[in-house]
Amino acid sequence: AQKVTQAQTEISVVEKEDVTLDCVYETRDTTYYLFWYKQPPSGELVFLIRRNSFDEQNEISGRYSWNFQKSTSSFNFTITASQVVDSAVYFCALSEVYGGSNYKLTFGKGTLLTVNP
Amino acid sequence: DVKVTQSSRYLVKRTGEKVFLECVQDMDHENMFWYRQDPGLGLRLIYFSYDVKMKEKGDIPEGYSVSREKKERFSLILESASTNQTSMYLCASSLSWGNQPQHFGDGTRLSIL
């Protein structure tokens, strides 16, 4: 079975600090997809990024960056110069093939990030 | 923008009641999903559907059923609500390919008294 581990349950930082959220996954699939979602206090999960297993390039989007390392089965997420609005629960997720051609997601338990002013 | 709408933001029901949670998406997505979210447990998949009238059990289907009579609507049914089903319920939809992100509704916080 697939598994996603987010070892950090809660992280607290002061505004402008950099913070990295860890995600480690397990899968037997050779083709798979990894995702990060943000859940602010309002409750709705917001999609942040998708990465497929064949693309190990790191990605940067503004203050956000993602480091995908297949060798260590990790897909870590870094927020640079954190802001109070970054406070949220962040989920890492892994897609799993189901029934030959369909997919479903396995989520990690999430990391609660609190950015203090 | 994809819009996934859940019928209620908050809901209070009594033990033994039959409870319906409704979810509608407006982007013609093939796939729809129901999750529950509990502190310390993350999101757990209850049921999902890849097409109209099709359903598949997720990781925790016991005590739940679903209905998908139309492509845009996916209903979660608690046949006889129990207190351990008090939770946040999240609906999501996506296109059919594995690399497509799921889009989520705002969630329904359900309390069973």
Q: Which residue has the tokens 């997420």?
A: A77
Q: What pLDDT is attached to residue B98?
A: 64
**What's the farthest any 2 CA atoms get from each other in chain A?**
48
Query: In Å, how far is B17's CA from the nearest CA of chain A?
Result: 26
Average pLDDT, chain A: 91
Q: Do B45 and A105 touch (CB under 8 A)?
A: yes
Query: In Å, how far is A48's CA from the nearest CA of chain B?
Result: 9
Q: Residue B40: is its pLDDT beyond 90?
A: no
pLDDT, tens digit, for every residue of A77-116? Answer: 999 999 999 999 999 999 877 666 677 789 999 999 999 9
Nearest CA to B56 among B70, B66, B44? Answer: B66
Q: Model confidence at A66, in pLDDT bands (50, 70, 90)?
A: very high
pLDDT, tens digit, for every residue of B62-105? Answer: 999 999 999 999 999 999 999 999 999 999 999 876 678 899 99
Q: Which residues of B touch A109 (CB under 8 A)?
A: 40-42
Q: What pLDDT is attached to residue A31?
A: 84
Round to whole Å and give the CA distance between B44 and B47: 10
Measured at the alpha carbon of residue B21, what is the angle toward residues B15 and B23, in degrees to the nearest 5? 170
Q: Do A44 and B56 touch (CB under 8 A)?
A: no
CA distances from A15 to A37, A86, A110, B20 (A): 21, 9, 21, 42
Q: Is B106 on the interface with A (CB under 8 A)?
A: yes
Round to whole Å and give the CA distance between B45 and B110: 16
